[in-house]
Amino acid sequence: MSNIRAPNKSRRQAPFEPSARFRQWRIPILLVVLTVIAFYPALQNGFVNWDDDRNIVENPFYRGLHWTNIQWMFTTFHMGHYQPLTWLTLSIDYLFWGLNPVGYHLTNLLLHCLNAVVLYFLAFRLFLLADPGLASHEHSLLPLAAGFSALLFSVHPLRVESVAWATERRDVLSGLFFLLSILCYLKAVTNGESGSRHWRWILISLAAYVLSLLAKASAMTLPVVLLVLDVYPLRRLGPKGWLSPETRKVWREKLLFVAFAVCTGVTALFAQYTAGAYRLLEQHGIASRFSQALYALTFYLWKTVLPFNLSPLYEIPLNPQFWRWSFFLSGFVVIGITVVLFSKRRRWPAVLASWIVYGVLLAHRYRESLRVVHSS
């Protein structure tokens, strides 16, 4: 009698189904692949004689991890910036690659890929907070929506300067910790986190924020972004009042964020003044600054929609006046959009929140554009 058993015909082999972990990561993996394809030519770039020569090629102070190198990184205002964490990553690049530009561009590209992945998970969580019903939909399009948002960010032509220019390491590095800080903050205030677990995630978010500030000072806008998120989609501010006992905890969470932002802002101003990058109010009045700020809001919005004729430097008049047609039209558009979105805030809260965050994040671009104008 044979010991071999006949196969059980009633038991059919289940078709291959990807694991939940694989399904969770297949869109981020695709994002990385598409981002690498889009920016792979940047690996063939050399150093440019605009900032790379003075920051990398002709600068011996960042080359190494000796105490004198680290001391220089954390005390220098070289070329008007305070960016010790950025210098640290450039030092590590030098230890591996010397002055071969391939390694510096490769690090920028890898950091940008990480930004795309973190942004995917951040967009996923924000979409879910805005409409919790999306989680209950069978075959939900939520991953595709988050993936499209992250892809639009990662391969947009406006990202080229930050990724393909070695000196702009500070952009992709600061952006990575900026996004991680927001993601950890959302983890702290959602999913029923309370007590010690809540504050643990707040401190992790704060640590990521400090690292972002040490890479580039423009991250100091984060506390305002977090407050906007507290209003929508978190709805922790507004419905119960702004100073009620329930909302005082929300304000307390921001104290250390604001403290680091203020310290960084003062340091950044000192670094810029040391480099002679700013003019005083007597030389560049409030009206000119206000006109330039309004122009920047529409300019970058236009370049986002139609990214043509891009340049690392856009020259504008030394003293822009509001009555010039381009500045007047920009002011009219900005005020019009703001009024419409505020009047429709109950119907389109996400659009108004996005518009406010856009203006807040663009504040550092306005500061940099002043530096360009004043140096001309």
Which backbone phi and psi does 238 adopt, to 5 degrees? Answer: 110, -70
How many alpha carbons lie under 13 Å from residue 184 in its C-beta half-sphere? Answer: 20
Domains in the chain: boundaries: 22-133+141-277, 281-376
Residue 257: burial class (beta carbons within 10 Å; 0-12, 13-18, 19+): buried
Please list the pLDDT of the chain residue by residue as tens digits (376 residues). Answer: 444 444 454 444 444 445 666 677 899 999 999 999 999 999 999 999 989 999 999 999 999 999 999 999 999 999 999 999 999 999 999 999 999 999 999 999 999 999 999 999 999 999 999 988 777 665 578 899 999 999 999 999 999 999 999 999 999 999 999 999 999 999 999 876 667 888 999 999 999 999 999 999 999 999 999 999 999 999 998 766 777 877 888 999 999 999 999 999 999 888 887 776 666 555 566 767 777 778 888 989 999 999 988 888 877 666 666 567 777 788 889 999 999 999 999 999 999 999 999 999 987 655 554 443 333 3
Output the CA angle 215-209-122, nearest 5 degrees: 110
Tell me the chain's radius of gyration from C-alpha atoms.
24
Q: Hey, what are 296's tokens?
A: 């920047």
